[in-house]
């Protein structure tokens, strides 16, 4: 059986029914762009360890980043392992592929001074839709979660915010459309207690807005992801701050939370991580800085009379 025949069958009858439409579309796109042109016309029995390793190296030589190569190789492995389970191929060798090493990059966040500059700009501009930036700084919401929020998701009496959906932009008919979906993972569905300072500002915001979305846009469906990202980038330019993506607001929230002493389990639940170890690994540098500060406070006893 040709690999392209099995790959298309696997995507259509296995991946499509078990993943989100957005994930399926990404799998399909990466398959058609990278895997099929190189391995599609090969018999599955010809996909030897050497051939698979050559493919991995070829992706790297074409200039793809390690994370992209690893994603494509992971897709390749999943399809071949499924093929082995169903008897499409007697044996597959994807486990022998050596992938490029990925450097763990330091999480980027805004300093306290930069954060205050951003907050002051939002409040001085007094444009209601910009409050979403501040809301992300104090809840750690992903941009898709933020822009999917409606007033029904906020209990201003209880002081909580519930994440039950997300959104993303999809290209159709030569333009982007805002599509709604379930959150990133099961653990991403969560209830977040809001700081009372944020509750006060949300009450004031609600009195000024008429739409159902907390972050208003030019349509009844609220702000679009790409548009809001561009708006945020322009704010950083005006403030002459180094460019960082919108996701840096989430990292900033997590870093501030650690700085004030929030425990990792609580932080993981607020961020929607399924396992505190994910949070621990991602924000290890922040935890170390917090530990160092605490140790220096302990050390002051040495200087006291």
Tokens in use for 191? 């209830």
Cα gap 69→292, rounded to integer Å: 37
At 293 the pLDDT is 83
Single pTM value for the model: 0.76
At 182 the pLDDT is 82
**What is the tens place of the pLDDT at every residue in 15-41?**
999 888 888 888 999 999 999 999 999
The residue ranking higher by pLDDT, 176 or 205, is 205
Q: Domain extents for the chain? A: 3-96, 112-293
Q: How distant, in Å, are the alpha carbons of 92, 136, 145, 269, 272 from that of 162?
A: 44, 14, 10, 12, 11
Length of the chain, in residues: 305
Q: Which residue is listed with tokens 């039950």?
A: 164
Fold of 3-96: DNA polymerase; domain 1 (1.10.150)
The chain-wide mean pLDDT, for the chain, equals 90
At 100 the pLDDT is 78
Neighbours of 168 (CB within 10 A): 19
Nearest-CA neighbor of 290 among 266, 256, 265? 256
Fold of 112-293: hpI Integrase; Chain A (1.10.443)
Tokens in use for 210? 């008429």
Q: What share of the chain is helix, strand, coil (3-state, %, to 5)?
A: 60, 10, 30
The answer to whether the beta carbons of residues 249 and 137 sit under 8 Å apart is: yes
163 three-state secondary structure: strand
């Amino acid at each position: 059986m040709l690999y392209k025949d099995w790959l298309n069958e696997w995507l259509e009858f296995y991946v499509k029914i078990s993943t989100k439409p957005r994930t399926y579309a990404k799998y399909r796109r990466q398959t058609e762009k990278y895997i099929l042109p190189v391995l599609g016309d090969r018999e599955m029995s010809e996909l030897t360890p050497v051939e698979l390793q050559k493919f991995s190296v070829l992706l790297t030589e074409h200039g793809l980043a390690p994370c992209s190569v690893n994603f494509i190789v992971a897709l390749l492995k999943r399809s071949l392992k499924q093929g082995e389970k169903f008897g499409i191929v007697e044996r597959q060798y994807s486990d022998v592929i050596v992938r490029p090493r990925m450097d763990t990059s330091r999480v980027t966040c805004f300093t306290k001074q930069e954060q205050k500059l951003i907050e002051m700009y939002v409040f001085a501009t007094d444009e209601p839709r910009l409050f979403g930036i501040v809301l992300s700084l104090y809840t750690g919401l992903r941009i898709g979660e933020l822009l999917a929020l409606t007033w029904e998701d906020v209990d201003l009496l209880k002081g909580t915010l519930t994440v039950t959906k997300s959104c993303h932009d999809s290209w159709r008919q030569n333009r982007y459309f805002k599509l709604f979906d379930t959150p990133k993972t099961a653990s991403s569905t969560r209830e977040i207690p809001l700081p009372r300072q944020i509750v006060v500002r949300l009450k004031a915001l609600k009195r000024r807005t008429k739409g159902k979305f907390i972050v208003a846009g030019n349509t009844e469906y609220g702000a679009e992801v790409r548009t809001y990202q561009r708006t945020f980038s322009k704010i950083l330019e005006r403030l002459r701050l180094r460019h960082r993506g919108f996701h840096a607001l989430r990292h900033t929230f997590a870093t501030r939370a650690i700085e004030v002493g929030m425990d990792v389990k609580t932080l993981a639940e607020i961020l929607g991580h399924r396992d505190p170890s994910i949070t621990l690994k991602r924000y290890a540098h922040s935890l170390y800085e917090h530990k160092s500060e605490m140790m220096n406070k302990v050390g002051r006893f040495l200087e006291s009379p």
